[in-house]
């Protein structure tokens, strides 16, 4: 089969200080999924079936967060991102059908420690609701999804170190930051636990991964390198505070 998918998201965020130490944030937006998929399968009766899936719709994207400052050195945060569900239409079947595509919800807890104005240490733990994806499983050859397909909720962990010495006289360019990060990534892949050898080959699941990242910021310019399998990623950006 063939699958092409592009996700776009836009929105606004608001924040307010409830007390000198407690802040609350709200994010409202919309996410678009542009999908074009084609699949050819062989059913249990030996018949070949071809189907096409398409989606081009916007769905609401919502998130909320809390930030608590214990003092000038310790900060803690809680964040929630709601799941996003898009509906895709499928043709080629009799009659035409539809199915959902799900971006799972996420709960996040974070902790920041600033032993000095130069060194920042951070940690984050995400609970990803992969089971929300399992609830939308369908089969392209019309067989119902069974409990032999497994995609459990999982925890992702992250740690980060940031070193930010001042440099120069200009308020725009006197910021230098070095960043080092480590991400313990959950499997996040569907696994078939039954006895069908074809499904075992298709859905073998995945394994936990470690991902390293390194970053450098000089003034408003930022560059980040993320080492992961099967490829690495470079990110270049510009940031301006006002």
- Phi, psi dihedrals of residue 156, rounded to the nearest 5°: -110, 140
Give residue 146's pLDDT band: very low, low, confident or very high (50, 70, 90): low
| Global pTM value | 0.77
> 62-95 pLDDT, tens per residue?
999 999 999 989 999 999 999 999 988 877 765 6
Place of tokens 């062989």: 42
Give the closest residue to 145 by CA, choosing from 178, 98, 192: 192
Residue 69, both tokens: 């400052």
Extract the tokens encoding 149. Answer: 């397909």
- For position 115, what pLDDT does the model report? 93
Q: What is the DSSP string of 168-203?
A: SS-TTT-BEEEEEEEEEE---S-EE-SS-HHHHHH-
Q: What is the mean pLDDT of residues 91-120?
A: 86
In the chain, the N- to C-terminal Cα span, in Å, equals 49
What whole-number percentage of the chain has pLDDT above 90? Answer: 40
Cβ-proximal residues to 93 (8 Å cutoff; 6+ apart), any chain: 49, 51, 142
224 closest CA partner among 174, 169, 178, 188: 178
Structure tokens at 218: 């000089």
Mean pLDDT for 127-154 is 76
pLDDT of residue 95: 62
Assess whether pLDDT exceeds 60 at residue 141.
Answer: no
Q: What is the pLDDT of residues 191-241, one digit of tens each?
A: 888 888 877 888 888 888 889 999 998 878 889 998 876 678 888 888 766
pLDDT digits (tens, 9 = 90+) for 25-38: 999 999 999 988 88
Other residues' Cβ atoms within 10 Å of the Cβ of residue 103: 20
């Amino acid at each position: 089969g063939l699958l092409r998918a592009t996700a776009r998201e836009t929105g606004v965020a608001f924040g307010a200080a409830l007390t000198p130490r407690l802040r609350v944030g709200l994010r409202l937006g919309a996410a678009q999924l542009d999908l074009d998929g084609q699949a050819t399968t062989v059913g249990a009766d030996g018949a070949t079936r071809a189907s096409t899936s398409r989606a081009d719709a916007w769905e609401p994207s919502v998130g909320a967060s809390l930030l608590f400052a214990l003092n000038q050195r310790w900060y803690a945060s809680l964040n929630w991102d709601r799941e996003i569900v898009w509906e895709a239409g499928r043709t080629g079947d009799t009659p035409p059908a539809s199915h959902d595509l799900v971006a799972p919800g996420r709960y996040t807890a974070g902790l920041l420690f600033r032993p000095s104005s130069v060194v920042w240490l951070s940690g984050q733990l995400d609970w990803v609701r992969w089971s929300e994806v399992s609830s939308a499983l369908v089969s392209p050859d019309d067989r119902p999804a069974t409990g032999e397909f497994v995609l459990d909720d999982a925890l992702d962990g992250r740690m980060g170190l940031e070193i930010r010495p001042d440099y120069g006289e200009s308020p725009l360019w006197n910021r230098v930051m070095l960043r080092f990060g480590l991400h313990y990534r959950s499997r996040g892949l569907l696994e078939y636990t039954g006895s069908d050898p074809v499904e075992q080959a298709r859905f073998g699941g995945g394994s936990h991964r470690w991902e390293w990242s390194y970053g450098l910021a000089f003034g408003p310019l930022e560059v980040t390198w993320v080492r992961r399998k099967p490829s690495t990623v470079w990110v270049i950006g510009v940031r301006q505070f006002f």
